[in-house]
Amino acid sequence: MELIIRGVSKAFGEKKVLRDVNLTVEEGELVAVMGPSGEGKTTLLRLLMGLEKPDSGELLGLDGKKIAPVFQEDRLIEAMDAVSNIRLVTPELSREDVRNAMERVGLTHCEGQPVRELSGGMRRRVALLRALLCRGELLMLDEPFEGLDADTKAQAIAETLRQRKGRPLLLVTHSEAEAAALNARIWTL
């Protein structure tokens, strides 16, 4: 079923963050949400994730759907290693399965190392893989390639396409190149 955002508005106190937002994401579609900073892209994802309630409008097609998120921050368990962080939300995967996926995005030689000791780019890839490998039906990625160099970004994008498996994907990004690499429809807020 498609995802429909109809006439959604959201304010925090006096500050109106979203005004009458309308967007339809077709089944299996890939949409890049773009726009200047502070225009409510992250707020829109938080509404879709159920972490905020809209002041008005409707969000349709979300009922009972599992979401696979990458948050604006990594939100990893600092004392756990990368494999354990991923297996926390996807326990059905073996450590071996997770290691193989990690290798494809250049995450090697970090098993057993707490993620607090990893670089920003490595942590971002762990957060991305955690979302991609879980069984969420809707991928919602908030600037998932932030802080990655050109090579690792290319690997991460390839892995995103490989693991998407036809699931609809909403990507918050500032980069048109990322949207193009993912062959996503650009939608500006």
Binders in 111-130 for another protein, by CB under 8 A: 114
With b for 16 or more beta-carbon neighbours within 10 A and e for fewer, the 168-178 pattern comes to bbbbbbeeeeb
Taking the alpha carbons of 134, 140, 145, 146 in that order, is the dihedral positive or negative? negative
Q: How far apart are CA 35 and CA 151, in angstroms?
A: 25
Binders in 2-41 for another protein, by CB under 8 A: none
Rule CB under 8 A: say whether 53 interacts with another protein: no
Q: How far apart are CA 44 and CA 139, in angstroms?
A: 14
Residue count, binding to another protein (CB under 8 A): 23
Rule CB under 8 A: say whether 80 interacts with another protein: yes
Applying CB under 8 A, among 32, 68, 102, 184 the residue interacting with another protein is 68
List alpha helices for the chain, DSSP H: 41-48, 82-89, 95-104, 120-133, 150-164, 176-181
Rule CB under 8 A: say whether 79 interacts with another protein: yes
Applying CB under 8 A, among 91, 108, 150, 165 the residue interacting with another protein is 91
**Distance of closest approach, residue 89 Cβ to another protein, in angstroms:** 4
Q: How far apart are CA 106 and CA 38, in angstroms?
A: 32
**Residue with Cβ nearer another protein (88 or 186):** 88
**Distance of closest approach, residue 30 Cβ to another protein, in angstroms:** 20
On whether the CB atoms of residues 130 and 89 are closer than 8 A, the answer is yes
**Region of 21-29, 68-76, 152-160, 174-182 interacting with another protein (CB under 8 A):** 68-76
Applying CB under 8 A, among 84, 104, 106, 155 the residue interacting with another protein is 84
On whether the CB atoms of residues 117 and 109 are closer than 8 A, the answer is no
**Residues β-bridged to residue 170:** 31, 140
Q: How far apart are CA 101 and CA 95, in angstroms?
A: 10
Rule CB under 8 A: say whether 73 interacts with another protein: yes
**Residue with Cβ nearer another protein (84 or 175):** 84
Interface residues with another protein (CB under 8 A)?
49-51, 66-69, 71, 73, 75, 77, 79-81, 83-84, 87-89, 91, 114, 134, 136
